[in-house]
Amino acid sequence: MLISSLRGRLFAGLTVFIVGTGVAAGYLAFRWAFEEAIELQDAILLQVGSLASKSHLTDLPAEGSIDGEARVVIDELTPRPGDPAPAGSLPRLPQDLPDGLQTIKRGAEQWRILVRTRKDGSRVAVGQPTANRDEVAQDSALRTVVPLGLLVPGLMLLIGIVIDRSLRPLSKLAERLDAKQSAHLEKLPTDGIPKELLPFVASINRLLDRIGTMFDKQRRFVADAAHELRSPITALSVQVENLERAGLSEDGRVRLESLKAGIRRTAHLLEQLLALARYDADADAEMPDSEFDRIVKEIVADLLPVAQERSIDLGFARIENVSVRGDPVALAMLVRNLIDNALRHTPAGGRVDVSLFRQGEAVTLQVVDTGPGILDAEIDRIFEPFFRGSRSRGDGTGLGLSIVRRIAEWCHGSIRLENVGPPDGPGLSACVTFTAVSETTSQA
């Protein structure tokens, strides 16, 4: 039998042990108490026997308070005239019984008999049915076993509680590990942890440390690679500008344009990669307060020409003066990515509504568009780097939403994407929520 849980193993092992010990102890206690009670009854027989051998006693009188079955019966083996017949309808005892204690069959029952010979040669027997003696002995023996019988379940309950308590730090530890997000790899605390678990916690902490170092290395590699690629891309751009001035044929100009577009896309990808690597860093960095409404207005103003070019109605549904704790450059990047996505996926003639408002302690930025929305099957993967949905339009990198989410989390906020169904949709609503900074709460 294999029990996979430590709790189960401990409990099963201890239960087997306790029940086993309990049964053995119960059996022994019963036997000893039983034998003791039988010996006690023999002693009584001996006492009554010695009384009966001293004087000529007939049957002991039946006292009201004595259990009739427990009574000791006295028989004269050599009856004199006038002696009463043996009690009830018991057959007479044989004359030739030897002196002393013995167990014999008398009628249908077993009897325990003590035979004595008096000085005058007459003989007397005192006796009790063994069934009665056994019953009395069993009763008293059972009474010694009862407390044991109560002790075993009591002990098992206690053990269950102790095991549960002792193993609680383990489940707590697992919960803490599960709650860890990849970006926050701070060590597990060691105080309050049982001694046996300390080496385990220490090695988990060393592992977390190594993972943290690995993350750092990976981040630095991406940032360095993107950074290193910037110079050749800039050099390429300069060369393209030079070519433009060199006076090309019509065909050459067309090709040059597509080369320029390619270089722009690559430069954009590099910027996004750099951003992704940058905002992955230390989440506990000290954040300044930023006037979020000003940032949002700037980005919207910046993107208005793009919206007009695509005949999309970009505007504010609601805007309040709010500040949030966060890096302004990062916040601007977040807003730009969201509105850029909305503009890119909304067909000509559609709308993109931006709202910024405060509700209690929460500041919400909402960007709602009238595009196709995101397929339900893809909505879980949409924040993965380089993932682009099957309905994506334009030449994106698939990094935008990853960056948005990292920035939101970096600034202790969260993002939620939701498809807007009919009658207001189809479309996508992107909501980013931050904690408000308390001072600036006046309405615009």
Ligand X SMILES: Nc1ncnc2c1ncn2[C@@H]1O[C@H](COP(=O)(O)OP(=O)(O)O)[C@@H](O)[C@H]1O
> What strands lie across the sheet with 313-319, from one edge to the other?
313-319, 351-359, 362-369, 427-435, 414-420
Characterize the bridge pairing of strands 351-359 and 313-319.
Answer: parallel
125 or 399: CB nearest ligand X: 399
Q: Which of residues 281-340 bind ligand X (CB under 6 A)?
A: 337
Residues 402 and 170: their CA atoms lie apart, in Å, by 34
| Residue 384 DSSP code | S
> Applying CB under 5 A, does 389 fall inside the site for Mg ion?
no
Is residue 129 involved in binding ligand X (CB under 6 A)? Answer: no
Cα three-residue angle 202-207-211, rounded to 5 degrees: 145
Q: Mask 350-369, x = binds ligand X (CB under 6 A)? A: -------------------x
Is residue 400 a contact point for ligand X (CB under 6 A)?
yes
User: Which one of residues 41, 341, 364, 402 is an interface residue with Mg ion (CB under 5 A)?
Assistant: 341
What is the three-class DSSP state of 436? Answer: strand
- Give me the residue label for tokens 């995101």: 374
CB of residue 368 vs ligand X: minimum separation in angstroms? Answer: 9
Q: How far is CA 67 from CA 37, 58, 71, 133, in A?
A: 17, 19, 7, 12
Question: Counting contacts by CB under 6 A, is residue 275 touching ligand X?
Answer: no
Q: Cα separation of 418 and 367, whole Å?
A: 11
Strand 313-319 relative to strand 323-325, pairing: unpaired
Q: How far apart are CA 238 and CA 159, in angstroms?
A: 79
Q: Which is nearer to Mg ion, 372 or 400 (CB)?
A: 400
What is the total count of residues that contact ligand X (CB under 6 A)? 22
Q: Does residue 428 touch ligand X according to CB under 6 A?
A: yes
**Are 412 and 434 in contact, with CB atoms under 8 Å apart?**
yes
User: How is residue 143 written in tokens?
Assistant: 């009474």
Per CB under 5 A, 400 contacts Mg ion: yes
Q: Which stretch binds ligand X (CB under 6 A): 33-41, 56-64, 221-229, 392-400?
A: 392-400
> Does the footprint of ligand X cover residue 388 (CB under 6 A)?
yes
Q: Which is nearer to ligand X, 75 or 369 (CB)?
A: 369
Could you tell me which stretch among 43-51, 256-264, 389-397, 406-414 binds ligand X (CB under 6 A)? 389-397
Question: Closest separation between CB of residue 427 and ligand X, Å?
Answer: 7
Binding site for Mg ion (CB under 5 A): 341, 396, 400
Binding site for ligand X (CB under 6 A): 337, 341-342, 345, 369, 371-374, 382, 388-389, 391-392, 396-402, 428
